[in-house]
Structure 1
């Protein structure tokens, strides 16, 4: 290559000698950007797999096998990732908030019983989203005694939390009774969410609600559900024992004493006697955490709550199971619009499992869980 510059200092190429260039290796030329491209078949395969929830690395490995090896590919893994991201952006349109509004409006047009509410801030930016499909609303009419409420599942890149209302059906399966995506976990947000839920359920108040010890939740429940029994999740409380007493010399004995007081006491009087004995024995009078639990013992100790019907629930672990159910469909980088789409697919799978349980109950005799003959004869 020959070049020269003019009086202004601008360089111009005057001659090129191509015979002196090194030849490009055929095995490497496919990796240059100018030569890389995705075929329409590969694009379609990647898009279908993404919609089905198949991770990108598995889709890429499938394409490699189908092509007969890396050497036959005209693209790299990053090209596949960029294409999927581009398709995702195209599906979202101008923004997540607008896309969700459009999606919910279509769902409502298809099924008038579909309920949704979107909460915006002063600058019209998305704050909170709540929705309930018709199946959830119909299920609550049959199974409206108790629901658990939990917000521990993060869904997307905006760090918004997934809030779920979960009940139990006649098969003992967890059923979704409504859900939302919320930005803040304060009393105001929970009041908004609970009121939207109660409104779509035609003001049919549940008999009981189970949550963790979150104070903002408790305040909101007292405002929206003043006559509903509010129970704290027993599992959330007991799992804190190693943290609260990890350095105590008698930690194993304290754990055992607390479990015995909680699970073995048949009456409030028995519990209080066992609890006070533990406090005295291990000199725990100044433990603020235990003192707070004792003041609120009516919210979490089983013997104080057995006069109410709790559908055999004492924890929010069913929400954990529901969240695990969604784990196969969404991940930490899922966008809001994609979450809604995957939610719908996940629910269809859940409905199918309930349908299978219905068929099984009609065609088989459910075994008696009790070992006593009197119950076996009744069945």
Structure 2
């Protein structure tokens, strides 16, 4: 806005002679943003209507706030919903992607098919990441998928997600992304996270198959590296059932132990979606990503 203000003032040759004030310019920009947002919503609805005409299995659901503005928006096409019926027992959910005009978190529900290729079940744009919002997302996702809840869901360590899942789907096994746990341990330990410690941590967490093996291995690891008083590691240990492989026994995960499938889909989506894309362009490009992945599945 400052650049625009300077350009307008320079057009009059004399700053004091300019009829433009910052307040007036700010009001004008606010009005333009509002009009653009309203136009974007209309175009997005038009895209949804077209997709539904082309695909009878396409479905979307929108949550509005008290002012009638979009708070959360989720959609899925016919093939994705059918894929969920086949491969939706173990899914991942991640909301780290925010490349859109309104900086809204974008979440992807992802699983793997019979070729162990990633398959996208649904996408969701969220205005916030509160417990209430996640409760709406998880409830509507299951409804969108015909009422079948997953057996296992992996997410990053996000407290509001954890509470929402416990409130709405207490029988679903919830686990944390192991990769995120390892990354946070690395950042928290700093210099203490040596190459030797990393190798031994990986052995304890990935190769100890029983609770007893893990307990003994973890105790030896902590003692050897003098980390008994480390508060962060103590906290990770208290929540070991959420991420250690030994506590995944008997839980079907389709070989997924992290949200890497979701994050890989996010990475590919960045190729399809230009930075700061308006909502209707985002939806269009997301649909092109699905078509591209479908072709890869057919090839396999």
TM over 0.5: yes
User: 1:105 and 1:330 mapped to 2: Cα distance?
Assistant: 21
For structure 1, the 5+ residue unaligned runs are 1-88, 358-379
Distance 1:94 1:246, change over 3 A: closer
Q: 2:91–2:110: 8 Å Cα contact kept in structure 1?
A: yes
What is the total number of aligned residue pairs between the two structures?
266
The Cα RMSD (Å) is 1.9
The runs of at least 4 aligned residues of structure 1 exceeding 4 Å deviation read: none
The 3-state SS of whatever aligns with 1:202 is coil
Aligned pair 1:242/2:193, yes or no? no
Aligned pair 1:230/2:174, yes or no? yes
Report deviation, 1:106. Answer: 3.3
Alignment correspondent of 1:177: 121
Alignment correspondent of 2:133: 189
Report deviation, 1:109. Answer: 4.0
- Residue by residue over 1:274-312, the C-alpha shift from the partner in whole angstroms, topping out at 9 and shown as x without a partner, is 111222233323322111111111111111112222111
Alignment correspondent of 1:135: 79
The 3-state SS of whatever aligns with 2:61 is strand
Q: 2:57–2:79: 8 Å Cα contact kept in structure 1?
A: no
Q: 2:240 is matched with which residue: 279, 297, 322?
A: 297
Aligned pair 1:120/2:64, yes or no? yes
Alignment correspondent of 1:166: 110
Alignment correspondent of 1:104: 48
1:1-379 pair list within 5 angstroms: 94-248=38-192, 251-357=194-300
Stretch moving more, 159-168 or 216-225: 216-225
User: 2:86 and 2:219 mapped to 1: Cα distance?
Assistant: 42
TM-score, normalised via structure 2 length:
0.83
Which structure: larger Rg? 1
For structure 2, the 5+ residue unaligned runs are 1-32
Q: 1:107–1:114: 8 Å Cα contact kept in structure 2?
A: yes
Structure number with higher helix proportion: 2
User: 2:157 and 2:277 mapped to 1: Cα distance?
Assistant: 29
Report deviation, 1:260. Answer: 2.1
| Larger RCO (CA within 8 A; separation ≥ 6) | 2
Distance 1:307 1:160, change over 3 A: same
User: 1:259 and 1:346 mapped to 2: Cα distance?
Assistant: 34
The 3-state SS of whatever aligns with 2:191 is coil
Report deviation, 1:141. Answer: 1.1
Distance 1:141 1:277, change over 3 A: same
The 3-state SS of whatever aligns with 2:253 is coil
